[in-house]
Amino acid sequence: MKNSAIPGAWNSPLSAAMLAGAATSIGYTQVADGELYWDEIRPHEGGRRVVVSRKGDFLPAPWDAKTSILEYGGLSWLVIERGGSPALVFCNKSDQRLYVLEAGSDPIALTPEPKEARSHRYAGMLQVGNEIWCIREIVEGHDCQRDLVAINFYGKLRVVESSSHFYMHPRLSPDGKHLSWMAWEHPQMPWDGTEFRIGDITNGELTNVRTLTGSTEESILTPEWVSNNELYYISDSSGWWNLWKISLDGTKEHIVSESAEWGMPMWQIGQRFISLLDDGRVLSIHGTPDNQRVVIVDPKSKSCADIVSSFTAFTATQSINGDRAYVIAGGAKSPTALVEIDLATAKVVDTIWETTLPVSADYLTTPRAITVPGKHGRSVHAILHPPQNPDYTASGPVPLLVTAHGGPTSQVSATAKLSFAYYTSRGIAVVDVNYGGSTGYGREYRNALRGQWGIMDYEDVLSVVDALVADGTADKSKVVIKGGSAGGFTVLNALVMGDVFAAGASYYGVADCETLATDTHDFESRYLDSMIGPYPERKDLYVERSPITHAENLSAPLIIFQGLDDKVVPPAQSETFRDVCVRKGIKHRYIAYEGEGHGFIKATSIIDSLESELTFFGEVLGFTPAL
């Protein structure tokens, strides 16, 4: 017999501590000498990034393979062969220096200690002869520069390329005579426009650097060599990120023309969307945010074959080992899994690692994609996670938690999320909104936010709420909203521009666009040129779009979370809204975490923020949650 209780107060076996315990995630994979390696980010070890294989941990504590490059990091390690055994080259979190770990020894520093601690960062390593070539970033105060450098195993470093401000995805041709990479300049972001460059390697030096393709209005992603003279790459020149091929003479071929995305926004160095198979076929990922598939392409016939599985989302990393492929996937009942694909049968044959569910899958809801009408005839996409608990039945409209993703150039997928199950198993529906500007729906949808950030994002959120209230899913009086970073900006704007939401939770949210434009890190320092307008020429728009400008309109309760080490959205942004709440006597909480940056990685922070958020919403909506 089903129990009866107020939605929000349903008893759930899923605790915040369980969620934090299951919050280990995987970043990247690599196959070296037939062995699969991957990295794990472990909250129970303070967020340490550990390189592992099926044999166990490769990187011992307390070493932490995490780079701070671009502030968002990326692929910070490379397994190579040294003295007949595997060795690990990695960027260490505590000092950001490059190290090599060889069998039977402790890590040895390859790069010197800079004058300013942690100011030199490294990522995107590859081996070129007896050197490691990689991207270096130097951050000294407000000055930032990047280059491609070569480092030998005696610690000698030399610059091989420095003509661009941004670099990603260096790749060596099979014969070792050419290097390719992505490059761009301010004010572009990599999803706006990039250039695909190559250079000749002559006596260890990079010469004859030239641009093969790309522009300020064409986003080129992850070029990969297919031969000494040809490369595959992803381009959105058709309006969708699709698969292309190019020769060194500039001849292009559109391999797959499809109204579906074969790429995602590159926030990190190391993301990969293309892998070449031994038989000449290509492995990639395509689809919509609610239904992605691994696909194998025959470039000669231009035919595509999807690998059918229960997974509906895949991260931008993949590795090949002969007739096996390794991808990181997620599905409705599986938050994250590292799986092995048999390329001969096109089937998933093994799960190497997966999130251990702390509760029965019966407590996980089945997310589904919804599309609702937005303003001005636009469609708005979202993923709905209905309440699910085998011991209870929801009757009638239920409380609704609306989530706005960060970025804002990002996307959410239709996969199991334990942080959502924390709510849905307690009787609260969750809707994850892919507002205009989100990726996964083509360049036109992605570009819709240009000049409209601070308007379209919260308008789309309101359109989703209106639709779910109208169809009886949500209780109009019990709608709350949360978001982090750019999503926190949407939260704050939604609260000061209307009265739809009973309460909000802002995680390191942007409160002042002017401050963000002048005080954020280099990678995003010109991001708002496209999202709002050039600064300071359009200072008026920055003032108008800033939630803090309209803070006197705030009346809804607000809980604020902030990492004190956040360099992307510094604590001062959150503190401004804390001070508004204090001055106006608005119900609020401000919780700051030492040692946390832009996104919480420590188990203690994850547990405390989840419990505090749910308790706060319960106080506002009139239920006492079972923690």
The helices-and-strands tally (H runs, E runs) of the chain is 10, 36
Q: Could you give the maximum distance between any two Cα atoms of the chain, in Å?
A: 77
DSSP 533-561: --TTTTHHHHHHH-GGGGGGG--S-EEEE
Question: Which of 302, 288, 296, 344 shows the shortest CA–CA distance to 318?
Answer: 296
The whole-number pLDDT of residue 627 equals 81
Position 470 in a domain: yes
Q: Is residue 74 a part of any domain in this protein? A: no
Residue of 286, 288, 321 whose CA lies nearest to 305: 286
User: Around Cβ 210, how many Cβ atoms within 10 Å?
Assistant: 11
Residue 464 sits in which domain range?
A: 359-621
Q: What pLDDT score does 103 carry?
A: 86
Residue 5: predicted pLDDT: 82
Cβ neighbours of residue 238 under 8 Å, at least 6 residues apart? 254, 257
Q: Coil, strand or helix: which one is 374?
A: coil
Note whether residue 368 is domain-resident.
Answer: yes
Residue 524 domain flag: yes
Q: In what order do the strands lie in the sheet with 35-42?
A: 25-32, 35-42, 48-53, 56-57
The span from the CA of 61 to the CA of 77, in Å, is 15
**Closest by alpha carbon to 247, among 271, 272, 230?**
230
The stretches in the chain having pLDDT less than 70 are 1
Dist. CA 163–CA 145, nearest whole Å: 10
Q: Which two tokens stand for residue 499?
A: 């009265």
Domains of the chain: total: 1
Domain for residue 159, yes or no? Answer: no
Give per-residue pLDDT as tens, 493-545: 999 999 999 999 999 999 999 999 998 999 999 999 999 999 999 999 999 99
CATH of the domain at 590: 3.40.50.1820
What pLDDT score was predicted for residue 395? 86
> For position 2, what pLDDT does the model report?
74
Could you tell me if residue 378 is inside a domain?
yes
